């Protein structure tokens, strides 16, 4: 791989994404179901359906959008995953034939867009597809540059008799980019799982929303309605389309 594109993630991660110890989706599903309004929902970067599938099982009518057909095929193998209408496209710039009362973008997927302009365009595309009064929910980690020394770091996640898992990162404070690669070393070879990110600060998200014509509603430190404060490692931001 020489260049990160919106479709890079899926082919590399499709067979391992659901093996990662992600947080259980229950709290996120409850949070989103409570705020869905009366219309359909849309998940941007729907991926393997970690949240979309259980949310649909709660009776929420929803669609998905993702850049990778490979990772969406993983969702199709799950009970209920085959029923979710998914469009293959770029979350930075999309035009669908429906409006939604809820659009959501979870687990740092906004950061897969590599420039500020692409991220603003994502907000603008979401705003274009929201009904008046509809909500856009964005989940991101809060940047912590102190994790990095000398603009990079390496961390060992797992060691066993037949494998080692390491994460290696480089960090560019000027461009707000993190280049990350998860390295799995096994007796039969080495596998690389890259994730290139352009992080944002919560205040930058609010400005992007304002540019897109969205109003700030609320921000939480996690899905269980924990208040957002200086110690929060995650940000769940909610914006409304007025009208």
pLDDT digits (tens, 9 = 90+) for 219-242: 999 999 899 999 999 999 999 999
User: CA separation (Å) from 231 to 128, 133, 139, 227?
Assistant: 34, 31, 16, 10
The pLDDT value given to residue 226: 94
Higher per-residue confidence, 11 vs 173: 173
- CATH 2.20.25.570, the chain: domain bounds: 145-197
Q: Is 216 exposed, middle or buried (0-12, 13-18, 19+ CB in 10 A)?
A: middle
Residue ranges, comma separated, of all CATH 3.40.50.150 domains in the chain are 9-143+201-241
Which of 18-27, 110-119, 189-198 has the lowest average pLDDT? 18-27
Q: For residues 8 and 41, what is the distance between their CA atoms, to the nearest angstrom?
A: 25
Per-residue model confidence (pLDDT) at position 182: 87
Whose CA is closest to 185, among 168, 163, 160, 156? 163
Q: Considering the chain, what is the average pLDDT of its residues?
A: 92
In the predicted model, is pLDDT for residue 135 greater than 60? Answer: yes
Q: Does the structure show a pLDDT above 90 at 117?
A: yes
Is the pLDDT assigned to residue 2 strictly greater than 70? no
What does the pLDDT read at residue 194? 86
Assigned token pair, 159? 């060691």
Instruction: Judge whether residue 15 has pLDDT over 80.
Output: no
- With respect to CATH, is domain 145-197 assigned 2.20.25.570? yes
Distance CA 118, CA 111 (A): 10
High-pLDDT (> 90) share of the chain, %: 72
Cβ neighbours of 18 (radius 10 Å): 16
| Residue-level pLDDT at 157 | 86
Model confidence pLDDT, tens digit, residues 70-105: 999 999 999 999 999 999 999 999 999 999 999 999
**How many CB atoms are closer than 10 A to CB 150?**
7
pLDDT at 187: 87
Helical spans, DSSP H, in 116-163: 116-128
Q: By the 8 A CB rule, do 177 and 90 touch?
A: no
pLDDT in tens, 166-218: 989 888 888 999 998 889 999 899 988 888 999 999 999 999 999 999 999 99
Supply the pLDDT for residue 1: 45
Say yes or no to pLDDT of 154 above 60.
yes
Residue 11 has pLDDT above 50, yes or no: yes
Q: With 60 as the cut, is the pLDDT of residue 58 above it?
A: yes
Assigned CATH topology for domain 9-143+201-241: Rossmann fold (3.40.50)
pLDDT band at 3 (very low <50, low <70, confident <90, very high): confident
Strand partners, 161: none
Least confident of 33-42, 92-101, 146-155, 212-221: 146-155
């Amino acid at each position: 791989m020489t260049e990160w594109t919106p479709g890079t993630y899926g082919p590399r991660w499709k067979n391992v994404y659901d093996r990662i110890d992600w947080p259980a989706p229950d709290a996120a599903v409850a949070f989103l179901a409570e705020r869905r309004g009366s219309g359909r929902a849309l998940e941007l970067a729907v991926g393997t359906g970690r949240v979309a599938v259980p949310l649909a099982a709660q009776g929420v009518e929803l669609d998905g959008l993702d850049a990778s057909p490979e990772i969406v095929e993983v969702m199709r193998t799950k009970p209920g995953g085959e029923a979710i209408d998914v469009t293959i496209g770029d979350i930075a710039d999309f035009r669908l034939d429906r409006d939604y009362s809820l659009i959501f973008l979870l687990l740092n997927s906004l950061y897969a867009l590599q420039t500020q302009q692409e991220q603003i365009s994502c907000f603008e595309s979401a705003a274009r597809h929201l009904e008046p009064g509809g909500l856009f929910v964005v989940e991101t980690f809060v940047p912590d540059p102190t994790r990095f020394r000398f603009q990079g770091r390496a961390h060992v996640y797992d060691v066993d008799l037949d494998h080692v898992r390491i994460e290696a990162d480089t960090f560019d404070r000027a461009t707000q980019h993190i280049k990350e690669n998860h390295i799995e070393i096994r007796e039969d070879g080495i596998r690389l799982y890259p994730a290139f990110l352009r992080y944002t600060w919560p205040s930058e998200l609010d400005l992007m929303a304002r540019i897109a014509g969205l109003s700030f509603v609320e921000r939480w430190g996690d899905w269980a309605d924990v208040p957002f404060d200086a110690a929060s490692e995650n940000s769940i931001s909610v914006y409304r389309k007025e009208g």
